[in-house]
Structure 1
Amino acid sequence: MFGTYFRVGFYGSHFGDLDEQEFVYKEPSITKLAEISHRLEEFYSTRFGDDVVEIIKDSNPVDRNKLDPNKAYLQITYVEPYFDTYELKERITYFDKNYNLRTFMYCTPFTLDGRAHGDLHEQYKRKTILTTSHAFPYIKTRINVIHKEEIILVPIEVAIEDMQKKTQELAFATNQDPADSKMLQMVLQGCVGTTVNQGPLEVAQVFLSDIPDDPKLYRHHNKLRLCFKDFTKRCEDALKKNKALIGPDQREYQRELERNYNKLKEALSPLINRKIPQLYRSLPAQSAQTNSGSRSSFRRVEC
């Protein structure tokens, strides 16, 4: 019960010095977004008037030109503690991941035409990383944001993140101790179910059917291909684990999951086993330079 965190932005002259300031609020861990929104809206409505305070419903960047100067706006977004890869090596326990927190992140899906959600090939994601002036837990329950960084993920990077998340969920459900067959089956159904919209097969067909025209996307294409290899292996492990957990009454369900998995694996096979030739074109030249002892530099190839 360490806490739940929300980013709160203040916009409007009614707030005085708080105008355009952002804070991270620490709330009890069972607090929902609707609860803190209602509480803050009610608090500032008693100060400024019922018709003055307005909640901005999305987490997109705020355009001051579109705001009514006579109103006070609050933008409230759920955020999660953010850790770099090197930090996760040290923050192992649940306590470690909830203590000395200064960096938080929230994600905003968007498309180039202004919609929040679109087809797989047009779905972008904006990651916003916030740094506070002090670390939680702190004597105050809100701390001001002193630095903001935005990272834009292109559609194939969004797909990579989604597949990595599915793979992690599979690994967690498979290795859970004590084993939870219901959780395992729910995750498996979401991964190999034939009726899953924008599921793994559709992701592979959209991004791996053709080699991208932009060489800058070669590395992402290859990374997604490797993600699918790991994903199919995790599916196989999960099916074996589920087979060992179920009783006679679920044998037919297990066979159905296995049939779906085999269909998925067969459909994915030509997509994930094809490598990009352009990534390997300069390898013979590099080998020749290495064998001849040449000290001249050569281009590094990332695979």
Structure 2
Amino acid sequence: MFRLQRMFGTYFRVGFYGCRFGDLDEQEFVYKEPSITKLAEISHRLEEFYSERFGDDVVAIIKDSNPVDKSKLDPNKAYLQITYVEPFFDTYELKERITYFDKNYNLRTFMYCTPFTLDGRAHGDLHEQYKRKTILTTSHAFPYIKTRINIIHKEEIILMPMEVAIEDMQKKTQELAFATHQDPADSKMLQMVLQGCVGTTVNQGPLEVAQVFLSEIPEDPKLFRHHNKLRLCFKDFTKRCEDALRKNKALIGPDQKEYHRELERNYTKLREALFPLINRKIPQLYRPMPLPTIPSQRNSLSRSSFRRVEC
């Protein structure tokens, strides 16, 4: 017997720029589309729709999700900026939104991420890769009687390179945990995730992150806690790799034993390379707290007497 799963929506942010749009100029909306809709599909549909109204050479699609500078746009054209967005929940919300339905109902807040570097490029080396997280709030909640709702509030959060690395490692760890505890177990999915974490061709990924950010203690004390958090992320990551390897060993047949041994060898190399990087603590974070000074009885009495005189 097949279990039918309800199909929820896919969401896109659409911005309108240009005087040809009239009241829509500089307005932004979240569009709800069928769950299988791709970015290219909605882009083509909206471009075709507005081209019929304004003309073929008038409508242009802004390809990136960076903030739009209207002074650089052609005033004779109508611009659309379309970005895939995901429902966004605060930590406290996730404790209540447990089921698949909970996470797809009563949605008013959405988020999209834009990678950037300080010199204007979208992507750079790990130590120069920033990320802009844009959080959008709509005037009403989805599901709604309309398939688009206007955006009434926008908030931007800038992540520094080390914070970007922390998010990336947390995502890898979550993927490992999900693949390991998936019920029913999916050996192909588990092996694909494991290969992406410890495979010889991608060892440079997690290892390079550790070498870039954990090789030296940062000079800026403001980065101490980020450094420590990333170190703990790697400890959790290696533990999840062990769990995944143990689960894979229990799932495979005789024909995959050599492949599994290769995964174990690669993991051992990765763990040995990571060990000195993730086991060095920042001394400043582990200094003992100074004991509070207790005033002598004589001084305490004199101060209390002084307070009584004041009253």
Q: TM-score range by the shorter chain?
A: over 0.9
Q: Please give the secondary structure, in 1, of the residue aligned with 2:111.
A: strand
SS in 2 for 1:243: helix
Flag structure 2 segments of 5+ consecutive residues without an equivalent: 1-6
Assess, with a 3 A threshold, how the Cα gap between structure 1 residues 197 and 260 changes in structure 2: closer, same or farther: closer
Q: 2:257, 2:15 → 1: CA distance?
A: 53
Say if 1:96 and 1:77 are closer, same or farther in 2 by CA, change over 3 A.
Answer: same
**Distance change in 2, residues 1:69/1:285 (3 Å):** farther
Q: Deviations over 1:49-97 (max 9, x none)?
A: 1111000000000011110011100000000000000000100111100
Distance 1:294 1:174, change over 3 A: farther
Does the 8 Å contact 2:139/2:150 carry over to 1?
Answer: yes
Q: Structure 1 residues 76-85 or 194-203, which shifts more?
A: 194-203
Aligned-residue Cα RMSD (Å) equals: 5.8
Q: Contact 2:106–2:141 at 8 Å: present in 1 too?
A: yes
8 Å CA contact 2:128–2:161 kept in 1: the answer is yes
- CA gap of 1:261–1:127, structure 2 versus 1, over 3 A, is same
| Superposition deviation, residue 289 in structure 1 | 17
CA distance in 2, matches of 1:6, 1:280: 45
Which position in structure 1 is the counterpart of 2:294? 286
Change (3 A) 1:41 1:263: same
- Change over 3 Å in CA distance of 1:200–1:299 after alignment to 2: farther
3-state SS, counterpart of residue 301 of structure 1:
helix
TM-score (norm 1): 0.93
CA contact (8 A) 2:15 2:26 kept: yes
- Note the C-alpha offset of 1:280: 2.4
Residue 140 (structure 2) pairs with residue 141 (structure 1): no
Which runs of 4 or more aligned residues in structure 1 lie more than 4 Å from their structure 2 counterparts after TM superposition? 283-303
Q: What is the CA distance between 1:292 and its match in structure 2?
A: 14
TM-fit CA distance, 1:38: 0.5
Q: 1:213 to 1:196 in 2, by over 3 A?
A: same
Contact conserved, 1:279 with 1:302, CA < 8 A, in 2?
Answer: no
Q: Distance in 1 between matches of 2:49 and 2:310?
A: 54
Q: Would the aligned equivalents of 1:128 and 1:149 in 2 still touch at CA under 8 Å?
A: yes
Q: Is the 8 A contact 1:130 1:148 kept in 2?
A: yes
For the Cα contact (< 8 Å) 1:120–1:198, is it kept in 2?
A: no
Return the alpha-carbon distance in structure 2 between the equivalents of residues 29 and 150 of structure 1: 26
| CA distance in 1: counterparts of 2:305 and 2:206, whole angstroms | 40
User: Of residues 32, 36, 41 in structure 1, which corresponds to 2:38?
Assistant: 32
| Runs (5+) with no aligned partner, structure 1 | none
CA distance in 1, matches of 2:240, 2:304: 43
Contact 1:109 1:116 (C-alpha < 8 Å) held by counterparts: yes
Matched, 1:170 2:179: no
TM value normalised by structure 2: 0.90
1:227 to 1:286, Cα distance in 2 relative to 1, 3 A: farther
Q: Structure 1 residues 200 and 293, CA, compared in 2 at 3 Å: closer, same or farther?
A: farther
Per the TM alignment, residue 298 of structure 1 is displaced from its structure 2 partner at its CA by 25
Max Rg structure: 2
Residue in 2 that maps onto 1:246: 252
Q: Cα gap change, 1:67/1:242 in structure 2, threshold over 3 Å: closer, same or farther? A: same
2:21 alignment counterpart:
15
User: Residue 117 and residue 43 in structure 1: after superposition, are their counterparts in 2 closer, same or farther (change >3 A)?
Assistant: same
How far off its partner does 1:20 sit? 0.3
Per-residue CA deviations over 1:106-165 (Å, capped at 9, x if unaligned) read 000111111111111111100000000000000100000000000000000000000000
* Identity rate, percent: 91
Structure-2 separation of matches of 1:60 and 1:237: 40
- Measured after TM superposition, the shift of residue 274 of structure 1 is 0.4
* DSSP-derived class of the 1:149 partner: strand
CA separation of 1:302 and 1:100: change in aligned 2, threshold 3 A: farther
Please say if residues 101 and 136 of structure 1, whose CA atoms lie closer than 8 Å, have aligned partners that are also in contact: yes
1:46–1:186 distance in 2 versus 1, CA, 3 Å:
same
How far apart, CA to CA, are the structure 1 residues paired with 2:307 and 2:230? 23
Offset of residue 193 of structure 1: 1.2
In the superposition, relative to structure 1, how do residues 46 and 150 fare at CA in structure 2: closer, same or farther (>3 Å)?
Answer: same
Give the match's secondary structure for 2:204: coil
2:197–2:203 Cα contact (<8 Å) kept: no
**Contact 2:203 2:270 (8 Å CA) reproduced:** no
Question: Is the Cα contact below 8 Å between 1:219 and 1:302 reproduced in 2?
Answer: no
Q: CA separation of 1:100/1:297 partners in 2, compared to 1, >3 Å: closer, same or farther?
A: farther
Change (3 A) 1:260 1:25: same
Q: Does 1:263 align with 2:269?
A: yes
